[in-house]
């Protein structure tokens, strides 16, 4: 029988359930500044300040909605998805810092599960969209979050995506918020794909994504 260990989890909260997401974030922030928790979680990642800042954005957008400006609903829900992603990263940090220790995990403010921590290779990356990057001649990708922890992302490019040997790795990053490829040639069509890997293996590549840099 597999050994049971305890794991900090998000629970049944969904990314766009902004009230639940904010409530969980607040619980985590409040718990992790208590003296016993500070001794364990010395360098929260993401920072508690970043959680608070994202909560403030959600609350500000919700205030606009309540005032009658329903155009902020999509903004609020998008901000909730971002905060959910931060909480997933925070849960990963908690599980790495206090692996399997029920008492320590409970000090984090996250719900605690008695199920084994997932030991799975990553799922397939799904690219939601891509835009011109923050610097000239660059591209930035936005992808759906994966449930596995300890992920590293590889980005490959090709001009002939149907030929497997044509794919070349252009960058490797540890954060889904840093999926940026610099040094592109303007007005030239390239195809990109992203794959995730962790200590258990490599996930499937995303579908080929066409993009032409414009800036």
Mind listing the pLDDT tens digit for each residue in 181-190? Answer: 999 988 899 9
- Nearest-angstrom CA–CA distance, 45 and 55: 16
Phi, psi of 66 (to 5 degrees): -65, -25
Domains in the chain, please, with CATH? 7-113 (no CATH), 127-212 (2.60.40.10)
What is the predicted pLDDT for the residue at 167? 94
Supply the pLDDT for residue 84: 94
d(CA 50, CA 214): 32
| Residue 168, pLDDT above cutoff 60 | yes
Q: Label residue 166 by pLDDT band (50, 70, 90).
A: very high
pLDDT at 192: 96
- Kindly report the number of other CB atoms within 10 A of residue 209's CB atom: 20
- What is the model's pLDDT at position 58? 96
> Mind listing the pLDDT tens digit for each residue in 54-107?
999 999 999 999 999 999 999 999 999 999 999 999 999 999 899 889 999 999
User: Could you tell me where the beta strands, DSSP code E, fall in 61-117?
Assistant: 112-113
Q: Once rounded to an integer, what is the mean pLDDT over residues 186-210? A: 90
Residue-level pLDDT at 161: 94
Contact 107, 46 (CB under 8 A): no
Mean pLDDT of 39-46: 94
In this predicted structure, the answer to whether residue 202 has a pLDDT above a threshold of 90 is no
- 104-139 confidence digits (pLDDT tens): 999 999 999 876 545 577 888 999 999 988 888 899
This prediction has a pTM of 0.54
Cα 123 to Cα 143: distance, rounded to the nearest angstrom:
12
* Confidence (pLDDT) at 1: 30
């Amino acid at each position: 029988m597999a050994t049971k260990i305890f794991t900090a989890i998000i629970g049944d909260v969904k990314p766009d359930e902004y009230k639940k997401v904010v409530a969980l974030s607040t619980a985590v922030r409040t718990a992790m500044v208590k003296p016993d928790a500070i001794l364990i979680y010395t360098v929260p990642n993401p920072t508690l300040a970043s959680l608070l800042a994202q909560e403030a954005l959600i609350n500000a957008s919700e205030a606009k909605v309540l005032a009658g400006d329903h155009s902020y609903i999509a903004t609020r829900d998008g901000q909730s998805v971002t905060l959910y992603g931060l909480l997933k990263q925070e849960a990963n940090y908690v599980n790495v810092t206090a692996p399997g220790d029920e008492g320590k995990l409970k000090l984090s403010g996250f719900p605690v599960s008695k199920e084994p921590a997932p030991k799975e290779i990553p799922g397939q990356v799904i690219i939601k969209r891509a835009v011109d990057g923050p610097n000239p001649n660059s591209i930035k990708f936005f992808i759906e979050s994966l449930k596995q922890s300890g992920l590293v992302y590889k980005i490959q490019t090709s001009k002939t995506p149907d030929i497997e040997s044509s794919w070349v790795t252009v960058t490797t990053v540890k954060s889904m918020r840093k999926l940026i490829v610099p040094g592109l040639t303007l007005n030239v069509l390239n195809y990109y794909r992203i794959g995730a890997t962790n200590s258990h293996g490599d996930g499937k590549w995303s579908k080929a994504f066409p993009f032409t840099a414009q800036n």
